[in-house]
Amino acid sequence: MKKILSVVGARPNFMKVAPIHRAFSAYPEVEHLILHTGQHYDAAMSDAFFQDLDMPQPSYFMGVGSGSHAEQTAKVMVEFEKAMHELKPDFVIVVGDVNSTIACTLTAVKMGIPTAHVEAGLRSGDRAMPEEINRIATDSICDYWFVTEQSGLDNLKHDGHPDDRVFFVGNTMIDSLHYALPNADKSDILERVGLTSKQYVLVTMHRPSNVDEPKQLGELLEILAELSQDRTVVFPVHPRTRKNIASHGLSGIIESNPNLVLIDPQGYIAFLALMKNSDFVLTDSGGIQEETTALGVPCLTIRTTTERPITCEIGTNTLVEPTTEGIRTALKLTLNSPAKTGHVPPLWDGKAAERIANIIVTQCLGL
């Protein structure tokens, strides 16, 4: 029996690996294990995600924690090498673009273990983003590439990767969305927060440039306060951001605008229900661009570039200049114009993980 190991390091990775784990259950000739590096770890949130996605608890938990990019990457490499000696996998799967992705790829490849990158080939063109460096470095050294959209194929072809090891399979993040939608439709999160479907805007902000810098955070909250005069604004806010709001003396903006509602971070199913039922989403996230396109919900992404161009080209996503003027202009246009409609990209059909499992078992491992 061949042993396949998938790496998760941060919450978005869970959504990408959960359907892969289920897909491998159809192949008795392989054993699929999940390793959690602990790059991002909050017990309550992680447990909720595993439960929401019907994932087993990880076979191996490294608990590396936070640190600078160099510290975190180095810790993951040291601990992952120990795990490889103990687990002895025949094949490693990494997903996404977090520090754990490149750290585990470097380690596995140097140990001679065939390694596949799920969500390969995505590029924003912005090398100031740590995730972009992780994407480029991972794709440059792994052995197999599983691609979510046409731009990924184009980028990998441009970089000279062999066609017979690049596979256009679709998007496992959307597999998880399809899997969880029935439960999301039963969620009572709207009732608990006091919301009416399509009568509110969902906001997510997590990038340090938006939530750690006092001036930028203050301007964003002022914009959200203005928006709350037209729609209820729901902002699931990270504890660090909530702390920043208080320490920077910005709590008054929240207190004086009752339609600007800050709630705690939510599990996957509750958040999916919030996203599906929103009028539109305002975000700086990567994956949410994909999920809103799959749901047909308009999305404004406060960034100058995106590594997921298909969401803008045929989906519901619009890039917004990350300035107060740019955001205000985009919000005014969104509130006063017909909603952007889009199409679901090719192969975003909920079956990407099945394609990945079949290719790995039959072609990569030759079973």
Distances in whole angstroms, Cα of residue 337 to Cα of each of 132, 300, 341: 33, 14, 12
Please indicate whether residue 32 is annotated as part of the active site. no
From the list 330, 336, 328, 300, the residue with the least C-alpha distance to 315 is: 300
Taken in order 72, 78, 82, 87, is the CA torsion positive or negative?
positive
d(CA 135, CA 120) in angstroms, rounded, equals 7
Q: For the chain, what is the largest distance between any 2 Cα atoms, rounded to a whole number of angstroms?
A: 63
Token pair in block for residue 215: 């001036």
d(CA 79, CA 63) in angstroms, rounded, equals 9
DSSP 313: H
Burial class (CB in 10 A: 0-12, 13-18, 19+), 349: middle
Which is the catalytic residue, given 178, 206, 238, 248? 206
Which phi and psi (to 5°) does residue 128 adopt? Answer: -75, -15
From the list 210, 184, 36, 10, the residue with the least C-alpha distance to 97 is: 10
Token pair in block for residue 325: 């003027």
Question: Which stretches of the chain are DSSP H helices?
Answer: 11-24, 43-52, 69-87, 99-110, 130-141, 150-158, 172-186, 189-193, 208-211, 214-227, 239-247, 251-255, 268-277, 287-295, 310-313, 324-336, 352-359
d(CA 210, CA 70) in angstroms, rounded, equals 22
Q: H-helix or E-strand containing 201?
A: strand 200-204
d(CA 116, CA 32) in angstroms, rounded, equals 14
> Which residues are known catalytic residues?
206
